[in-house]
């Protein structure tokens, strides 16, 4: 068993143009004052990190760690969610996902894929330079438009999509392996890796690559009505990162899992701030601790009702209250004694 580290916070949803959200120093002081001990850094946010410099310079990485440490914080993981998304984009989403890409590759899916792949390669080197063991990302999606098809999918379409996905990610996974870092896919609707079965399909195509790991976020499973507790039993050996995010599912006679094209606030499945949804975090923290999860509990805020500031303020104590300081003792240790072999044999009649 292991004691989970935390509380930590993913900074992506908090960065902005006004203090304290407009610089590394300001936001570090803010989250530290709230009681957080770690930060997960989105690598596309240049106010937090220069990814190209970090990939090449151990000195820069040491200085970055030192600045963050001066606020009593550690880096938990780096994130390339946006860049990972661009490793694999179905043509139906080309224009919309161009918003995540730099101007020089917009309108050019091939060059955009090359740029995104290079971003992941740099993230692997940077993670090593920072002394990190895990990295958070998305898989991207080639097959997602065909997830619930009518007309039926052509035979071989899914097989081809997952083979191509594997072809694109295999060199990236090898780079992460070379740098000693686990690449953790956030299993998420909208990605080709959106549940356990699709993750296993991908694993098969990458020959069970040891670095093809998981970022566990139960909120995405509530919205799919997937058993998020049993998921841990199935995949605990691959779970190397953890987003603590709450959600609720309120189906009606008018809508269910698919949400009827409604806004976030009006969908049956909604993300909520910690403690405001229906997720059983007590059981989650217990299982992850029992299975020896050796990582951070990182709050991700995406609530459709509560402000990010309030969500962050409430998140740190919520996580701290759920972290289990695992025991190294059994309840009846006091009654134990030295092994008496003759007593054992007499007790068994041997």
pLDDT tens profile 257-278:
999 999 999 999 999 999 999 9
Q: Number of folded domains in the chain?
A: 1
CB under 8 Å to 198, separation ≥6 — which residues?
187, 192
Cβ atoms within 10 Å, residue 280: 11
User: Beta-strand (E) ranges in 120-255?
Assistant: 134-137, 182-186, 212-216, 239-244, 246-249
DSSP character at residue 260 = G
Taking the C-alpha atoms of residue 61 and residue 50, their distance in angstroms, rounded to an integer, is 10
Q: Tokens for 63, please give them.
A: 């200085």
What is the CA angle 177-10-125, rounded to 5? 25
In order of 97, 251, 258, 274, 288, the CA distances from 148 in angstroms are: 21, 19, 10, 31, 32
* Model pLDDT, residue 328: 82
Q: Tell me what the mean pLDDT of segment 179-202 comes to.
A: 98
Average pLDDT, the chain: 96
Q: Does residue 124 register a pLDDT over 60?
A: yes
What's the pLDDT tens digit per position in 89-110?
999 999 999 999 999 999 999 9
* Model pLDDT, residue 331: 57
DSSP character at residue 328 = S
Taking the C-alpha atoms of residue 92 and residue 99, their distance in angstroms, rounded to an integer, is 14
H and E: helices and strands count for the chain: 13, 10
* Model pLDDT, residue 336: 65
Token match 């072809």: residue? 167
Tell me if the bond preceding 128 is cis, omega within 30° of 0. Answer: no
| CATH number of the CATH domain containing 279 | 3.20.20.150
Share of the chain above pLDDT 90, in %: 93
11 is in which domain, residue-wise?
A: 5-348
Confidence tier at 343 by pLDDT (50, 70, 90): confident
What's the pLDDT tens digit per position in 217-269?
999 999 999 999 999 999 999 999 999 999 999 999 999 999 999 999 999 99
Are 209 and 170 within 8 A, CB to CB? yes
Taking the C-alpha atoms of residue 183 and residue 93, their distance in angstroms, rounded to an integer, is 24
């Amino acid at each position: 068993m292991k004691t989970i580290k935390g509380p930590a916070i993913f900074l992506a949803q908090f960065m902005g143009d006004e203090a304290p959200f407009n610089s590394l120093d300001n936001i570090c002081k803010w989250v530290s004052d709230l009681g957080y001990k770690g930060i997960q850094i989105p690598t596309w946010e240049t106010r937090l990190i220069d990814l190209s410099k970090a990939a090449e310079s151990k000195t820069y990485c040491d200085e970055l760690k030192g600045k963050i440490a001066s606020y009593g914080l550690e880096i938990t993981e780096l994130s390339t969610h946006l860049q990972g998304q661009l490793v694999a984009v179905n043509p139906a989403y080309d224009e919309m996902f161009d918003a995540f890409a730099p101007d020089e590759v917009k309108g050019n899916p091939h060059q955009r894929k090359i740029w995104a792949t290079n971003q992941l390669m740099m993230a692997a080197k940077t993670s090593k330079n920072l002394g990190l063991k895990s990295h958070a990302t998305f898989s991207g999606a080639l097959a997602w438009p065909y997830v619930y098809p009518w007309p039926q999918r052509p035979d071989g379409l899914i097989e081809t999509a997952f083979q191509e996905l594997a072809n694109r990610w295999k060199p990236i996974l090898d780079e992460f392996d070379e740098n000693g870092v686990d690449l953790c896919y956030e299993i998420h609707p909208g990605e080709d890796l959106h549940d356990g079965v699709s993750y296993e399909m991908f694993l098969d195509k990458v020959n069970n690559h040891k670095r093809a790991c998981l970022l566990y976020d139960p909120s995405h499973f509530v919205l799919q009505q997937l058993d998020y507790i049993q998921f841990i039993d199935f995949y605990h050996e691959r779970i190397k990162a953890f987003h603590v995010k709450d959600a609720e599912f309120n189906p009606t006679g008018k809508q269910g899992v698919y949400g009827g094209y409604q806004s976030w606030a009006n969908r049956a499945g909604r993300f909520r701030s910690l403690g405001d949804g229906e997720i059983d975090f007590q059981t989650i923290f217990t299982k992850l601790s029992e299975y020896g999860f050796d990582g951070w509990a990182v709050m991700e805020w995406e609530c459709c009702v509560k402000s990010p500031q309030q969500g962050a303020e409430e998140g740190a104590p919520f996580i701290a209250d759920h972290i289990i300081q695992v025991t190294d003792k059994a309840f009846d240790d006091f009654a134990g004694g030295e092994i008496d072999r003759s007593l054992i044999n007499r007790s068994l009649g041997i």
